[in-house]
Amino acid sequence: MSGNEAPESGLIEHLIELRARLMRALIGLGVVLLGLMPFSRQIYNWLAHPLISQLPNGQSMIAINPAGAFFAPLKLTFFVALFIAVPWLLYQLWAFVAPGLYAREKRLAVPLLATSVLLFYIGCAFAYFLVLPAVFHFLTTFRPDVIAITPDANAYLDFVLAIFFAFGSSFELPVAMVILTLLGWVSPQQFKEGRGYAIVGIFVLAAVLTPPDVVSQLMLAIPMVLLYELGIHASRWLVPAKSDEKQVG
């Protein structure tokens, strides 16, 4: 009986710890969200700037759904709060799983998590400051004169969030390559030998993830090719460390 009670008590402790971490994560996200709510309009205006700056003077967005003008800024504010709170959310996840990891796993997990978050932020910043202005300039410049662009607020928000997710996720490529190397599934030499296939796959992926224009496709594909090369070098750097550990073992 006592042997059965020990695993059960351990499971209950883990569930209690998980609940506490989830509550802290949600509370932190809620605090950020409440702090941003008074600035919902300004945040949406900031997000709309890349498109509004390319439209004729006096032209703005519309809301096809009467409630769209109200819910679109709120929806955006939630995603911005989630974006800002990611480090806090990941810390809660890390605090929950860290006690069960070995020392070497902890040493590797921390820089990988930090790098993945940083690369995601860089990808989103790259999309906002470079990709969106270029895409909207291309789309508004080459449209027929008889077509007036009157973007819907919700449709624009969904479009931009999809772009952010596509670029933020794509910039995680080096981290994914390093993880595959650490797991022993792919070697740096295999990454190098498969460079040609990877480049073709990157351009196909860019065509799928981005709008149907050459500008955004190239602006996603070219950084991904460079990140692929970065992933090869990072994986090579890890291989000697793994080999040394096997020899010591």
In tens digits, the chain (249 residues) has pLDDT values of 455 555 666 678 888 888 999 999 999 999 999 999 999 999 999 999 999 988 877 777 888 877 778 899 999 999 999 999 999 999 999 888 888 777 877 888 888 899 999 999 999 999 999 999 998 888 888 777 777 778 888 999 999 999 999 999 999 999 999 999 988 899 999 999 999 999 999 999 998 888 777 888 899 999 999 999 999 999 988 765 444 444 333
Nearest C-alpha neighbor of 127 from the set 58, 208, 215: 215
The number of angstroms, rounded, from the C-alpha of 114 to the middle of its chain's C-alpha atoms is: 13
Residue for token pair 């020990």: 6
User: Does residue 61 sit in helix, strand or coil?
Assistant: coil
What letter would DSSP give residue 71? Answer: H
d(CA 189, CA 94): 32
